[in-house]
Structure 1
Amino acid sequence: MAVTLAEVAAHAGVSSATVSRVLNGGYPVAGGTRTRVEQAVEELGYVANGPARALAAATSDLIGVLVHDIADSFFGVLAGSLQQALGPAGRAEPRRLAVVCNTEGAPAAEIAYLTLLEGQRAGGVVLTGGAVEDPDHITALAARVSRIAATGAPVVLCGRPPLPVDDGLPVATIVFDDRGGAFRLAEHLLALGHRRIAYVAGPPGLSSSRERLAGHRDALARHDPALPETCAPLTVHAGFERAAGYDAARELLRRAVPFTAVASANDAVATGVVAALREAGLRIPEDVSVAGFDDLPFCVDTAPALTTVRVPLREAGILAANLVTGRRSPPPGGITTLPTELMVRGSTAPPPEGSRP
């Protein structure tokens, strides 16, 4: 027998009217109450009746774009190219409104924004940036994405791993080859003669941080199985901001473990690393080589220009726009992997003569 609205209300400890408000969206409902109702719906497997379900499936021209930090150039470039590509491809195609939601990388904010976008009957959603690899959050996120996709609104995961959602739902994934890019960057430093390579990794528990660090360690191990352990004291986890790179470099200097190169989780971190090293009287790249990741626009204007790994952000934004509007169908399996490219510039060079093996 089908679960009724009254049964959901009793399970959640609220009135049937409150359940109806939560399911219909667009009505103010306290966060804790909304959560209880949503949990009751999922636990009991409640499905609205046919006409109500059809009404709920009606979507708008609103496209939600979730970013960690719009002030971060990584997300600015990605969201900007996506929004530009959302423009109508022809006279018959409607203009879509992109709403950028700044989550600050917080799992709770991701769920909250997705709930609001579902309530607004968003015509599509794009989630960008590395994913928090917490099992409970992954489960909650997959459930929320499935609910949105079940209305027919496409969902695109851009720069993060796929989610465990049912086959047939309009959910596509764009993956960056972070691991391969980090591998090639470390290979470049090794080929120059560096062996004591420091690494400023991104925040722990984030998919992009894990992939980039794994690629770095893969390259070290291929060159010499002992290198990952040798360089382990030279690995520091930090945020993705310039200030985090500055603090991480100062920590590396305090550890007093010699190093001749620093690979950074992203370009902003690399600029902070450079500032701290120069403050300590070290020259770039004569004394220490420094490299970044992402190839943001300012990299060619630093002094010296920054060696980095190019992530195809503009291409990813355009592809995400085409997927979320249905102009392009995802490949079999729903996953598109975009390659990364090593960009060698002036911030890396062979280590000083006395420090070479």
Structure 2
Amino acid sequence: MTAQSDEAGRVVRGRATLKDVAHRAGVSVPTVSRVIAGNYPVATATRRRVEKALRELDYVANTHARALRGHGARTVAFVLNDVRGPSFAQVAHGIEEEASRRGRLCLVCVSGGDPGRELDAVHAMRQQGAEAVILIGGVKDDEPYRRQMSAIAQSLDQSGSRLVLCGRPSLGESVPATVVQYDNEEGAYAITGRLLAAGHRRVLLFGGDAALTTTAQRIAGYRRALKDFGAAFDDSLIEKAAFDRGKAYVAMRERLGRARDFTAVFALTDAVAAGALRALTEAGLAVPEDVSLVGFDDVPPAEDLRPRLTTVHVPYEEMGRAAVRLALDRREGTTTGAEQRIVLGTHVVVRDSVARPPTVG
């Protein structure tokens, strides 16, 4: 628990109470209750003082949460970018499976990749009394993000909840958060190495935004493999494209319209690979005879594509299960310490989409 000082210099420890808020605002406890409930007229100036005190003391109005717990409905919450993404869906399934096994219900929010919406969702989940709030997917890991997430982790911890970063980097050992990662860079290294071992030296890295942690880690693995295999890095072989099948198709068509200066494509997700495959086929190129193609994730449509896609398997469902398990175990006293962190392994799944380049005898 942390300590906060009120305007009179007195220390308020731990979770703020209605009485703490009333003292800070200079009003009665019933007045604070009326402002929170919003069902009784309160003078504008008074309401503003109370709302200011609520913010300053980080007060959680958890009447609804207590009511839920009184009926035995305990919850975990998760926030993801897009429910339609196969990798997000698999993580969500793992969360739901483990939450159900532990007797919890799931609350779900979709951010659409908007940091503001994600933040609003976290605050809403906290107000609902969720025992864990799980954030899924890559982010722009800059200083403002780290400050904001560290504050959220502290706030959730003080309210008896837990922040879980799923597929995101650690905020540091002193931050009370659970981190569930997978070996992203090593997976990219291994899949790039497979193409290089087959004789390819011009490998197009296709998809993603280098500002996002997920993409940046895969680029790092790609570059490390090039170095270890003695292949030169060429910045022109990095082609940005959204993690979306349709947009990847358009981006590959445009790339082929400029030049085909590569013999292999490392698509940063399987959905991106599917879009690339369509564009390559329409351009009269055969995979893998003319161009080799690999993906990342090992989710549908990896096995449904023709040829079947060689890709990197990520244990997304296990990530979801681990996120719930670790957060609840800590809450129940099974584990201790500020940060919990695990890294799950990845591996290459070899199928039919890689061959030696045509120029290699």
TM-score higher than 0.5 here?
yes
Tell me the CA shift for residue 6 of structure 1: 7.6
Q: Does the aligned pair in 1 maintain the 2:293–2:309 contact within 8 Å?
A: yes
Return the match for 2:193 from 173, 184, 187. 187
Q: Unaligned 5+ residue runs, structure 2?
A: 8-20, 40-46
Within-5 A mapping of 1:167-206: 167=175, 169=176, 171-206=177-212
Report how far residue 132 of structure 1 moved. 2.4
Question: Structure 1 CA distance, aligned partners of 2:171 and 2:35?
Answer: 23
Q: Which moved more, 1:254-263 or 1:185-194?
A: 254-263
Deviations 1:233-274 (A, max 9, x none): 121112111012212212321331511100011000000000
CA contact (8 A) 2:22 2:32 kept: no
What does residue 120 of structure 1 align with? 128
Answer yes or no: is the 8 Å Cα contact 1:24–1:119 preserved in 2: no
User: Contact 1:26 / 1:120 at 8 angstroms: preserved in 2?
Assistant: no
Contact 2:182–2:345, Cα closer than 8 Å, also in 1: yes
Percent identity reads 34
In structure 1, what is the Cα distance between the partners aligned to 2:337 and 2:229? Answer: 35
Q: Does 1:96 align with 2:101?
A: no
> Per the alignment, do residues 181 and 243 of structure 1 end up closer, same or farther by CA in structure 2, a change over 3 Å counting?
same
Cα contact 1:323–1:330 (8 A) shared by 2: no
Does the residue aligned with 2:6 lie in a helix, a strand or coil? coil
Question: CA 1:350 to 1:141, structure 2 compared with 1: closer, same or farther past 3 Å?
Answer: same
Alignment of 1:336-355 (within 5 A): 336-352=342-358, 354=359
TM-superposed CA distance for 1:22, in Å, is: 12
Superposition map of 1:245-284 within 5 A: 245-284=248-287
Label 1:88 to 1:127 Cα distance change in 2 as closer, same or farther (>3 A): same
- Residue in structure 2 matched with residue 300 of structure 1 by the alignment: 303
Please state whether the residue corresponding to 1:309 is helix, strand or coil: strand
Structure-1 residue corresponding to 2:81: 68
Specify the code of the residue in structure 2 equivalent to 1:105.
G
1:31-54 Cα shifts (integer Å, max 9, x gaps): xxx9x9999878x6x477xxx999
CA shift, 1:68, in A, is 1.1
Q: What letter is aligned with 2:303?
A: V
Structure 1 residues 20 and 257, CA gap change in structure 2 (3 angstroms): farther
Q: Secondary structure at the match of 1:301?
A: coil
Q: Does 1:137 align with 2:176?
A: no
Q: Quick check: 1:236 aligned with 2:239?
A: yes
CA separation of 1:251 and 1:9: change in aligned 2, threshold 3 A = farther
Cα pair distance change 1:325/1:139, threshold 3 Å: same
1:210 alignment partner, SS class = helix
For normalisation by structure 2, the TM-score amounts to 0.80
* 1:279 partner amino acid: E
TM-score, length-normalised on structure 1?
Answer: 0.81
Task: Evaluate the alpha carbon distance shift between residue 22 and residue 297 of structure 1 in structure 2; reply closer, same or farther with a 3 A threshold.
Answer: farther
1:285 aligns with 2:288: yes
Q: Structure 1 residue 319 and structure 2 residue 322: aligned?
A: yes
CA distance in 2, matches of 1:69, 1:22: 37
2-structure distance, mates of 1:39, 1:223? 59
Is 1:334 the counterpart of 2:359? The answer is no
Cα distance change, pair 6–154 in 1 and its aligned pair in 2 (3 A): closer
Task: Give RMSD over aligned pairs.
Answer: 3.4
- 2:263–2:292 contact (8 Å) kept in structure 1: yes
Contact in 1 for aligned 2:65/2:127 (Cα 8 Å): no
Bigger radius of gyration among the two? 2
Query: Which amino acid is 1:205 matched to?
Result: A
Shift of the 264–8 alpha-carbon distance from structure 1 to 2, 3 Å rule, reads: farther
Contact 1:86 1:321 in 2 (8 A): yes
In the alignment, what sits opposite 2:215?
Answer: 209
Deviates more, 1:320-329 or 1:275-284: 320-329
Q: Cα distance 1:25–1:197, how it changes in 2: closer, same or farther (>3 A)?
A: farther
Residues 1:264 and 1:221: Cα distance change in structure 2 (over 3 Å): same
Give yes or no for contact 1:200–1:236 (8 Å, CA) kept in 2: yes
Which stretch has the larger CA shift, 297-306 or 342-351?
297-306
CA spacing shift, 1:119–1:221, aligned 2, 3 Å: same
> Secondary structure in 1 aligned to 2:135?
strand
Distance 2:300 2:187 in 1: 18
Distance 2:147 2:172 in 1: 8
Contact 2:209 2:242 (8 Å CA) reproduced: yes
Unaligned runs of 5+ in 1: 28-33, 90-94
1:311–1:340 CA contact under 8 A, matched in 2 = yes
| Contact map agreement 1:146 1:166 (CA 8 A) in 2 | no
Deviations 1:111-155 (A, max 9, x none): 010011111121211111112223223322221232112222122
Query: 1:31 aligns to what?
Result: none
